[in-house]
Structure 1
């Protein structure tokens, strides 16, 4: 039986790499092993370096351990364990962890075989041997042994395969220093080296090891095996169907016997290792790997001349071997015209030297398509749509260089590219749970056409641990799985497999969840199937989220979470609060130089406001959960986690989670029209129709709302009406700009937007109305105040900031010049033409509106800042939460807070008109700042201030 089928435990959790509660009771961590190998059936003393190591420590492996004991003199940073791995343990490379009563450690990779283990030395007394060492930077190492003529000696170094960064090169030299054999880093061994040679004479021979580039990049540990060694890198067949049993053999190796493989209880599609029998005494290296698949699996049959073997209906896999050079294996496959197929060859990724070429032929043998290498591997992958009129085709596999041999093994897979599927990932390789407490495991699904429920199961879960929430619900991509440990479960540990099953399919499929990369997993991806769990001593803090049944995620607003902690004994230290949710991390595209780059879109995420923490004397704390305005309306799971910090304010000494809560997004307000829906609106002054209605707010929403029209024809400017935060009802005069074209406004709708209006504003429901625009009287307008049009003296006033402001006459919006800002920013907090009051109903000398034009050359953000009463940025005056900055582009808010006008950078000059009162409330505008933020430069032009929108209409006449 494969070791991963045994009920140990390997596991993963959300962003919680949990430690313990005080410096002397933290979970163990290991940094180095004195030996990178263990001998099955023989006692080996292993020195382990790390932190938080205690005398109760024990090694945890996914193979049986006959005995182990910690030697006297254990220290917190180093201990020695005498360990005997069971004699029946199958050779291979495994992950070793250390467990104490305070949890389970990170993993390190270690080899297990039947070779004696020793530290690297300059002389080898007997063979075979496995030597552990570290390669000094820029140097080479040598060790010598005595050999006999005709003796076959193999050298094998494990470095990349056990998590080191060096790229080893091996050389075998005779007594005169003449090279007999050489091996560079081999792709088939994940970048490690191996060679075999027949010794030409009796005498002393040397083994030389160095890094390919003599860099010795850390970590630089290695395990060098020398002797009459036995290897097997491939297995045939390369796959076995889930739920079945099979036999496999290892072509081209010293293992002649067939080996039974049992996947009948394996919980999902994944990878297992072949068990190496005890009859192969000097086997070393990684054992061959087998795919466990959800397809029908077959082995290449004996070929009949003139007749091609047929594959099963998709999904189907066939394992074969190219036994001779120049050989091409072909198979027939029944297909349907228009069917979308994904065809894939597995070879190099599973230790085969085959450099595969995959060719699709028509029924008559005419080539239709071909594929060879793809990124990261020489294994081909081909997406192919079956042409019209084709019901059968041929699939051919060959080597790019026309090579062959008993170890040129491959697996060809054909599957329906449109078939529903998914994959699962875990965000860490381990989880430590306090006894009597709770932690949360974050499991993420990447869906490929399957949108139903995914049932999660933790195989090998130790007793004393209960689980809830083990389902990724239909349409969701994340589950927060709650794991709670019994009060007396401290010291429990295990290795698990985590699987997910799409049981709603007519033919259910199961997939194993993968952890992040662990040492050695690049070459051996099955190591990422292992997840570790440990139960720690009870936490010295308890943590509660005292929620209310009425709590909801109000779009564009915040949810205040009332938190409480209790500390035991004399525990002090700040307690940091973190939030985990089932919302996938939102992304956005920004410019990095001339390239588009996808980055996290923090402002679109459910998140905490700031970095909240309990101070040592605090037992209660209110934290705000910020809710994006466009959060999809579905159930979301949220969990708050408390991290007790050490005196350095950074190291986590204990983590504990509050229970998961499921909350629903709600619109913060609803628009209701209570009056006539058929009205006239005046284009200009005069008696006009009025929309009457009310804003029905949820209790938590305390912001102003702007009522406006949408779906207006081109050329119409939508009127706006502000409903203050303390008001519900409104009466909205329908006044349009003088000169607007008379006539009906087809498809016009009334909508309410959360103020200030931005690209991210929360929207209400919309209500259709019938509006006819009629001509009105010309309004009495006041000439707008010019801030900047062509006066270069204004540019000279921008004396603050580290950027550079200059006039630009080659590219402008209007007039003769514009303002060009390079570098950081340029500003003036007290411009002489300003000092103007912004008011809802401005009187003489007061303003409400601003108009400007801007453009950006490169980068992701452009920003215009408004100084309010001598201050920059949020706070100080105006409406609560007002930001007093405008920005456009995907770069996000700038300088601590800004209002988004557009999520795209204005590549051409764009004119912007804003209601300063609606955006920021009443304040005194005293200065301005202009920022390019990033990229080459920002251009600003045509900056005016007005009492009404009609004032800006005079600009056309003024500029004639």
Structure 2
């Protein structure tokens, strides 16, 4: 992967605690930042933070110490950073014998980190606090005339729900500057202010909408430091020799910095975000450029000679620096080919609200776009007429806005250009030792429908991944992670998908978390935590073999499973089904009748370990491979409270036949029989079918006194269920001495073929 990552694991202190059922969870952190070259003491509040915590970090340290006063609800750490620790936003996770936590984001820079207070003793400073609802916080400091300060609030970028609005006032309460919802800062706040005189200044902080959500933590930074959210160009292909990057910032000291592009790795070519090293006193999330797998160009300089940039596919980075600026590019294309052009601005947190126009070289319009359904970034497809070998591509801001951070990237690719994205929503996955857990990986495709091979590099010993392929024509898979019985090493990993198409290798990293990935961009978050549950209360496994073609339309399949309860666990186990099928909808509501499902809910008694579930395949199902796993819930004695859950490995099934035969019209059943009368009894007889549902039709048959044979017809409607016909019986009745005399009853088995 094209990124720096180091995972540091430490387990230094033993806690006195009992086995806990849930994974570690961090609910609060005393400081949201670490200081380079210093030792920072952090207190993490939460649950299941011990015993024997292992601290997982994605940034280098000199040492990490877990202090003796730590316990399962309060983890106290000392983290030593080297002097040259690169400024960045780093991730911290806690792993214990019950699993691994979600990540906590920390700011790493040279600023001293302290809790929020009403007074600032010295600058620079980074203060951690919390604000919710309509609260207003204030802190004051002594300033000097001519002093230029950056005042910035990190909240959204750290995972907080606070939408910060920050301002500064002088001793007369005159507002000098304010900021909120800076686009490039992911809706956080930042401004630069020059102090007009010596005196006391007050910084005020509140939620921009006066309804700050929880958690509302923030990191307020005050001082002289460099910042930048974007670097130009926005994308490079490979390690372009001599490439340099220009920081895009509203500060006055824009500088050129060298591009840091790691050497090629085993998963290239892949879209990846590459952090840029910024010299000097930088603070914040490092700007990133996209490592692209198509040729990338910068907008030509104003004094350059006009000419084609190259042939599609390609990408172009540009900046709308001046008001009413229109950038125009000449691109070579193939006549008779359909292309897709797309602008990336809002989705890379640029303030540009772009308009895109495609013209022939002589000015004839081919296509135009303003917004897409889910983003203000424009995209359009266009056909290149015969005889046309070049097109003009125009980009401008809809309001003619401009500035040093108004950057965009535009791509032009053939519409048939194959691509895909991958997503897995959980940010952590906890696997029982000796068992398995499934992870749904979802693909979106363009231009191909083949299988996507999935790879999980750097899994530690004792962990394996199976069903590591999204089948052809499918849009998801249940990747199974399994842990050996003696596995004890947690990990933070990425999942990479790769396809080979017409000699072209396409690799994409899986986006981790709820934010959907975007074609043409690398995901913001691409790492998932893998934890091990050391003493699981429950395991679920398959107990028999099944053929890969075990599914049949409208048929049922037996699923044999076995559960293993942990030590001192004796509860019943309730089962449910996990599949790679999205629940079908009918009239906007879930339609389980068209889903892979269990025939009925099954709960295994506490004294049993083996069960056979019945899988029902609907009569309409796409002819692709489907993944199926079984989930078990260990129940308490009341049969309601869930003590633990576990999953079987997923199995991949396909249809044994793509056909299902069903009767769609009425079924007419003819029953032939005879009447035997006692000697001397010569009366007409009425034969009827009793027990029929009201939807069925059958007329009584009269057998004349001198006849013995009869034929009775029963008309059954389509789709009638077999259980509705379970109690149908024939009976004959005749008059004897003025009263009805019934015959014996003959049970009749009726079956329309419906399931």
SS of aligned partner of 1:121: coil
2: distance between equivalents of 1:267 and 1:102?
35
Partner residue, 1:148: 144
Instruction: Give secondary structure in 2 for the equivalent of 1:508.
Output: strand
Q: Displacement, 1:47?
A: 1.5
1:26-105 aligned at under 5 Å gives the runs: 26-105=22-101
Secondary structure in 2 matching 1:533: strand
Name the residue aligned to 2:166.
170
2:413 and 2:407 mapped to 1: Cα distance? Answer: 20
CA offset at residue 570 of structure 1? Answer: 1.0
CA distance in 1, matches of 2:34, 2:215: 20
Q: Kindly indicate whether the alpha-carbon contact (under 8 Å) linking 1:345 and 1:381 is maintained by their aligned counterparts in 2.
A: yes
Deviation at 1:231, TM superposition (A): 0.7
2:245 alignment partner in structure 1? 248
Q: Report what 1:468 is aligned to.
A: 466
Any idea what SS the aligned residue of 2:222 has?
Answer: strand
**2: CA distance between counterparts of 1:454 and 1:227?**
49
Aligned ranges 1:465-504 → 2 under 5 Å: 465-490=463-488, 492-504=489-501
In the other structure, the counterpart of 1:274 is 275
* Other structure's SS at 1:235 match: strand
List gaps (5 residues or longer) in structure 2: 10-16, 673-690, 703-711, 728-748
1:185–1:193 CA contact under 8 A, matched in 2? yes
Q: Distance in 2 between matches of 1:58 and 1:413?
A: 44
Counterpart of 1:235 (choices 231, 235, 241) is 231
- What is residue 530 of structure 1 aligned with on the other side? 527
Q: Is the counterpart of residue 616 in structure 1 residue 612 in structure 2?
A: no
1:289 aligns with 2:294: no
1:662 aligned residue (645, 652, 659): 652
Counterpart in the other structure of 2:396: 398
Aligned to 1:626: 616
Task: Tell me how far 1:480 sits from its aligned partner.
Answer: 2.9
1:555-704 aligned at under 5 Å gives the runs 555-582=553-580, 584-590=581-587, 597=588, 599-644=589-634, 654-666=644-656
The equivalent residue for 1:711 is none
State the Cα deviation string for residues 235-261 of structure 1 (Å, max 9, x = none): 111012257675423134546242232
State whether residues 329 and 398 of structure 1, in contact with CA within 8 Å, keep that contact through their aligned partners in structure 2: yes
Query: Whole-Å Cα distance in 2 between the matches of residues 835 and 541 of structure 1?
Result: 47
Distance 2:668 2:240 in 1: 70
What is the distance in 1 between the residues matched to 2:343 and 2:88? 25
Query: Secondary structure in 2 aligned to 1:258?
Result: strand
Q: How far apart in 1 are the matches of 2:670 and 2:70? A: 71
Query: Following TM superposition, by how much is the alpha carbon of 1:142 offset from its aligned partner in structure 2, in angstroms?
Result: 0.6
Selected match of 2:700 from 829, 843, 862: 843
Provide closer, same or farther for how the CA distance between residues 876 and 626 of structure 1 changes in structure 2, counting only shifts above 3 A: closer
| 2:422 counterpart residue number | 424
Secondary structure class of the residue paired with 2:260: strand
Task: Describe the shift of the 1:273–1:367 C-alpha distance in structure 2 as closer, same or farther (beyond 3 A).
Answer: same
* TM-fit CA distance, 1:610: 4.2
Pick from 447, 455, 461: which aligns with 2:445?
Answer: 447
2:696 touches 2:715 (CA, 8 Å); kept in 1?
A: no
In structure 2, relative to structure 1, the CA distance for the partners of 1:720 and 1:75 (3 Å cut) is: same
- Asked whether 1:191 is paired with 2:48, we answer no
Q: Secondary structure at the match of 1:65?
A: coil
- Secondary structure (helix, strand or coil) at the match of 1:349 reads helix
Q: Does 1:547 align with 2:544?
A: yes
Tell me by how many angstroms 1:52 deviates: 1.1
Q: How does 1:851-866 map to 2 (within 5 A)?
A: none
Query: Per-residue deviation at 1:28?
Result: 0.8
CA distance in 2, matches of 1:650, 1:86: 52
Deviations 1:710-747 (A, max 9, x none): xxxxxxxx6645699xxxxx9xxxxxxxxxxxxxxxxx
Matches within 5 A, 1:3-18: 4-6=3-5, 8=7
Residue equivalent to 1:735? none
Structure 1 partner of 2:726: 879
Q: How does 1:300-449 map to 2 (within 5 A)?
A: 300-304=299-303, 307-375=305-373, 377-449=375-447
Shift of 1:39: 2.1
Structure 1: give runs of 5+ residues left out of the alignment: 11-20, 591-596, 672-704, 709-717, 725-729, 731-833, 853-863, 867-873, 881-915, 922-960
Task: State the alpha-carbon separation in 2 of the partners of residues 525 and 561 from structure 1.
Answer: 40
Shift in Å at residue 122 of structure 1? Answer: 0.8
Separation in structure 1 between the aligned mates of residue 62 and residue 307 of structure 2, nearest angstrom: 48
Deviation at residue 140 of structure 1 after TM alignment: 0.8
Cα distance in 1 between the residues matched to 2:432 and 2:257: 46
SS in 2 for 1:295: coil
The answer to whether 1:106 aligns with 2:102 is yes
Q: SS of the residue aligned with 1:529? A: coil
1:603 partner SS: helix
User: Aligned-pair distance for 1:519?
Assistant: 13
Residue pairs, 1:125-164, within 5 angstroms: 125-164=121-160
Q: Does structure 1 retain, via aligned residues, the 8 Å contact 2:716–2:752?
A: no
Conserved in 2, the CA contact under 8 Å of 1:97 and 1:104?
yes
The answer to whether the 8 Å contact 2:271/2:509 transfers is yes
Over 3 Å counting, the alpha-carbon distance change for 1:134 and 1:836 in structure 2 is closer
1:98 positional shift: 1.3
Cα 1:353–1:437 change in 2 (3 A) is same
Alpha-carbon distance between aligned partners in 2 of 1:198 and 1:113, rounded to the nearest angstrom? 23
The separation in 1 between residues aligned to 2:695 and 2:319, in whole angstroms, is 81
| Alpha-carbon shift at residue 627 of structure 1 (Å) | 1.1
Contact 2:273–2:291, Cα closer than 8 Å, also in 1: yes
Q: In 1, are the aligned partners of 2:571 and 2:634 still within 8 Å (CA)?
A: yes
Displacement, 1:417? 1.9
> Cα deviation per residue 1:198-232 (whole Å; 9 max; x = unaligned)?
00000110011111221122222211111113211
**RMSD over aligned Cα atoms:** 3.8
Q: Is the 8 A contact 2:722 2:751 kept in 1?
A: no
Conserved in 2, the CA contact under 8 Å of 1:493 and 1:533?
A: yes
* Residue 612 to residue 309, structure 1, CA distance change in 2 (3 Å): farther
Deviation for aligned residue 1:394: 0.9
Structure 1 CA distance for aligned equivalents of residues 65 and 497 of structure 2: 37
* Deviates most, 496-505 or 92-101: 92-101
Q: 1:647 to 1:249 in 2, by over 3 A?
A: farther
Distance 1:325 1:837 in 2: 77
- Relative distance call for 1:549 and 1:363 in structure 2 (3 A) is closer
Normalised to the residue count of structure 1, the TM-score between the two structures is: 0.66
Q: CA deviation at 1:337?
A: 3.3
SS of 2:247's equivalent in the other structure is: coil
Q: Deviations over 1:805-825 (max 9, x none)?
A: xxxxxxxxxxxxxxxxxxxxx
- Determine the C-alpha separation between the residues in 1 that align with 2:583 and 2:93: 34
Give the match for residue 20 of structure 2.
24
CA distance in 1, matches of 2:220, 2:98: 34
**Equivalent position SS for 1:554:** coil
Q: 1:162·1:519 contact (CA, 8 Å) conserved in 2?
A: no
Count of aligned positions = 692
Q: 1:49 to 1:410 in 2, by over 3 A?
A: same
Instruction: String of CA shifts for 1:783-815, please: whole Å, max 9, x gaps.
Output: xxxxxxxxxxxxxxxxxxxxxxxxxxxxxxxxx
5 Å-filtered alignment, 1:803-822, equals: none
SS at match of 2:231: coil
Secondary structure at the aligned position of 2:525 is classed as helix
